[in-house]
Amino acid sequence: MVAATLVSFGLSAYGTFADRTSAYYLLQSRAWELLLGTLVSLNSFPHVKAAIWRNAASLTGVALVIVSVFCFSPSTIFPGFAALMPCTGAALIIVAGRWGASQAGHMLSWRPLVFVGQISYSLYLWHWPLIVFMRMSELFPLGRRVPHMTALAVFATTIVATLSWKYVEAPFRSGPARPSRMRLFEIAGAAAVVLAAIGLSAIASRGVPARYSTQANTIASYLKYEDKEAMRTGRCFLLPEHSWEDFNFVKCLSTDDMKKDYLLFGDSYAAHLWYGLSVIFREDNFLQATVAGCSPIFDRRGSGVCDHLLSYIFSDYLRHHKVDGLILAAHWSEQDVQALPRTLDWAAARGIPVILIGPLVQYDTALPRLLAFSVQEHNPAYADYHRQDFRSMDEEIRQIAESRGIKYMSLYKALCDRGTCAVFAAPGIPLQFDDAHLTRDGSVLVARLLLELRMLPENSLRVWTHSQ
């Protein structure tokens, strides 16, 4: 058991860096967490009999769990070494409690906490199906992160889990419905075969697409959309798997003496604008410096490739190359918004004209999925229920830009009107292929809006209009 635990933990530690998704979901890299509990049950840990050590161990365990709850974030590399903290904390609490009373044990014996412990497995089983179905429903758009919707999800899960524990789990664990060991394995084996057959048939039929109309399936096909050329992925837009050496300086940052030069700078929300800008404003030259998850903030330091990009553009390129405009776009966060004024002031001090692009309309799931549902259910407003609200951030960035006399492009105002937003770039073609990123046609549509709103110099616009 010790060897199996160590091997599984080693796979977890390695997997979080090699393939984090697999490390999170697959058994071999998560088994050590369960095996740690097995070692506790086998008395493999030292006996903690002295009261002072029981209290120290149990309180340390509680502290480790609490720190995990409040300090872990979406950026935490998990499971791997990070999972040691909550798992070791739980193990310490249990080990200490096996050998007598402790302060932590006294706290955890509070009846409401004991009840949560009793239904915890049912909570674990039921919470995700309920969240998924609520997220898919226009009645409960959890993606908006409305507090009362989250509270409703917790309440509903608790009710269903309590019923499941009382009428399913408890009777089969210790009641008259408990089968013999052999019978249990037969039932579990048969259930596994049936579920595997259902899963394989769904995979083989690609989700049984015949249950949807042709139009819905056509729209849903954009869930597999991939267009590396439109964003110039691997050359001018780098992903985490790329290195700084992959960046093509000649293709991405070469100026043109015969055209106006605009530098598109930011993350993927900048990269997906390049194609449309290049198509609509053909008489201009659009340079591109973009890295996934890399906000174009002057005094920010990212990690890896992002750090290289920020340092090069701010400390080198913009100091030695004159551009006619610096277009800043990103998946703006509150932290970015707070630091944005310093970036704009830095550019103004060097006489660099800035065009600031605001947050893009975003949804709690992929837009093609929502549009497929809207077609199937004959509900044109379906996507509106799942649209996330970034209007307050849009207004905050607008005020920052206008206070400095900087051109600001509000994608909200350009794409949305009277409670609804544009969802198609052209008939049958979604504006976005996931929850926010633009399709090739969507990029062209946004660029046309830039044209209509006169976000680039007049002479460039007149040349383009005349050429068309």
Burial of 95 (0-12, 13-18, 19+ CB in 10 A): buried
| pLDDT of the residue at 146 | 61
Q: What is the mean pLDDT of the chain?
A: 90
In a domain? residue 219: no
In a domain? residue 392: yes
| pLDDT of the residue at 138 | 58
SS3 326: strand
Does residue 166 share a domain with residue 237?
Answer: no
Across the range 245-269, mean pLDDT stands at: 95
Does residue 369 share a domain with residue 257?
Answer: yes
**Domain C-terminal end among 104, 139, 173:** 173
Q: pLDDT band for position 303 (50/70/90)? A: low
DSSP class of residue 233 equals B
| pLDDT of the residue at 144 | 53
Higher per-residue confidence, 254 vs 176: 254
| pLDDT of the residue at 46 | 87
Contact call for residues 46 and 15 (beta carbons, < 8 A): no
Helices (H), 317-410: 318-320, 334-349, 367-376, 382-385, 391-403
Q: How many residues does the chain have?
A: 468
**Domain C-terminal end among 110, 145, 173:** 173
Does residue 346 share a domain with residue 411?
Answer: yes
Q: pLDDT band for position 463 (50/70/90)? A: very low
Q: Which range marks the domain in which residue 148 is found?
A: 2-173
In a domain? residue 199: no
Burial of 224 (0-12, 13-18, 19+ CB in 10 A): exposed
Across the range 272-298, mean pLDDT stands at: 95
Does residue 263 share a domain with residue 135?
Answer: no
Rounded distance, CA 217 to CA 458, Å? Answer: 42
CATH number where 427 lies: 3.40.50.1110
Q: pLDDT band for position 372 (50/70/90)? A: very high
**Domain C-terminal end among 173, 188, 214:** 173
User: Per-residue pLDDT for 139 more than 70?
Assistant: no
CA–CA distance from 264 to each of 287, 335, 374 (Å)? 6, 21, 34
Token pair 């089968």 is at which residue?
179
Q: Is 288 left (phi over 0), alpha (psi -120 to 50) or beta?
A: beta
DSSP class of residue 317 equals I
Does residue 256 share a domain with residue 128?
Answer: no
Does residue 231 share a domain with residue 154?
Answer: no
User: Per-residue pLDDT for 460 more than 70?
Assistant: no
Contact call for residues 355 and 328 (beta carbons, < 8 A): yes
Does residue 244 share a domain with residue 163?
Answer: no
Does residue 253 share a domain with residue 111?
Answer: no
CA–CA distance from 438 to each of 60, 172, 203, 218, 290 (Å)? 48, 51, 28, 17, 15
Does residue 436 share a domain with residue 298?
Answer: yes
| pLDDT of the residue at 465 | 42
Number of domains in the chain: 2
- Mean pLDDT check: name the lowest of 60-64, 139-143, 363-367: 139-143
Does residue 152 share a domain with residue 7?
Answer: yes
| pLDDT of the residue at 140 | 61
In a domain? residue 214: no
Does residue 147 share a domain with residue 281?
Answer: no
Backbone torsions φ then ψ of 180, nearest 5 degrees: -70, 165
Single out the residue of 456, 468, 455 nearest to residue 260, CA to CA.
Answer: 456
- Mean pLDDT check: name the lowest of 88-92, 143-147, 392-396, 447-451: 143-147
In a domain? residue 217: no
Q: What percentage of the chain reaches a pLDDT higher than 70?
A: 94
Does residue 409 share a domain with residue 344?
Answer: yes
Whether pTM > 0.75 for this model: the answer is no
| pLDDT of the residue at 385 | 85
In a domain? residue 215: no
| pLDDT of the residue at 466 | 36
In a domain? residue 193: no
| pLDDT of the residue at 292 | 94
| pLDDT of the residue at 145 | 54
User: Per-residue pLDDT for 382 more than 50?
Assistant: yes
Q: What is the pLDDT of residues 40-79, one digit of tens each?
A: 999 998 888 899 999 999 999 999 999 999 999 887 889 9
| pLDDT of the residue at 458 | 46
Q: What is the pLDDT of residues 313-351, one digit of tens each?
A: 999 999 999 999 999 999 999 999 999 999 999 999 999
Higher per-residue confidence, 46 vs 177: 46
Alpha carbon distance, N-terminus to C-terminus of the chain:
73
User: Per-residue pLDDT for 468 more than 50?
Assistant: no
In a domain? residue 216: no
| pLDDT of the residue at 218 | 94
